[in-house]
Structure 1
Amino acid sequence: MNRSIHKIIEEQIKRWELGNIQAVPLTQTTNVITISRESGSRGLQVAEKLADQIGFDLFHHEILEAMIETSKTSKALLETLDERGMNIVDDIVSALVHEHHLWPDDYSKLLLRILNTIGKHGNAIILGRGGNCALNKFNILRVRIVAPASMRREYIQTTRDLSFDDAQKQMISTDANRSAFVKRYFNSDASDPANYDLILNTGTLSVEKTVRLIKCAIGAAWNDENQ
Structure 2
Amino acid sequence: MAVIAMTRETATRGSEVAAGLANRLGLAIVHHEIVEHDIADRAGMPETEVHRFLEGETSLFERWTLDRKRMSRYTAQEILELAAKGNVLIRGWGATYLLKSVPHVICVRICAPMLFRESVLIERLGIGIAANARREIERSDAAHNRTIQRLFGVDWEYPSLYAIVLNTARVPVADCVEHIVRLAESSTFQETARSRGVLMDQIISLRARTAVERQFGANSTQNCFDVHVFSGKVLLTGATTDEQMIVEAVRLLQGVEGVTSVESKVAHVAFVPHED
Query: TM-score band (shorter)?
Result: 0.5 to 0.7
Which position in structure 2 is the counterpart of 1:43? 14
Which position in structure 2 is the counterpart of 1:56? 27
CA displacement at 1:62 relative to structure 2: 3.1
**Inter-CA distance 120–60: structure 2 relative to 1 (3 Å threshold):** same
Alignment of 1:127 with 2:127, yes or no, is no
Structure 1: gaps spanning 5 or more residues: 1-29, 74-102
C-alpha distance in 1 between matches for 2:68 and 2:189: 37
Which structure has the highest strand share of the two?
2
Tell which deviates more after alignment, 55-64 or 142-151: 55-64
**Inter-CA distance 150–221: structure 2 relative to 1 (3 Å threshold):** farther
In the superposition, the TM-score normalised over structure 2's length comes to 0.56
Which position in structure 2 is the counterpart of 1:142? 107
Q: What is the aligned-residue RMSD (CA, Å)?
A: 2.3
Which structure has the highest helix share of the two?
1
**Inter-CA distance 137–224: structure 2 relative to 1 (3 Å threshold):** closer
Whether contact under 8 Å (2:71, 2:151) holds in the other structure is no
Q: Quick check: which has more Rg, 1 or 2?
A: 2
C-alpha distance in 2 between matches for 1:112 and 1:223: 21
Structure 2: gaps spanning 5 or more residues: 45-66, 193-276
Matches within 5 A, 1:1-227: 31-72=2-43, 104-139=68-103, 140-162=105-127, 163-222=129-188
Whether contact under 8 Å (1:119, 1:138) holds in the other structure is no
CA displacement at 1:221 relative to structure 2: 3.9
C-alpha distance in 2 between matches for 1:224 and 1:115: 19
Aligned residues: 169
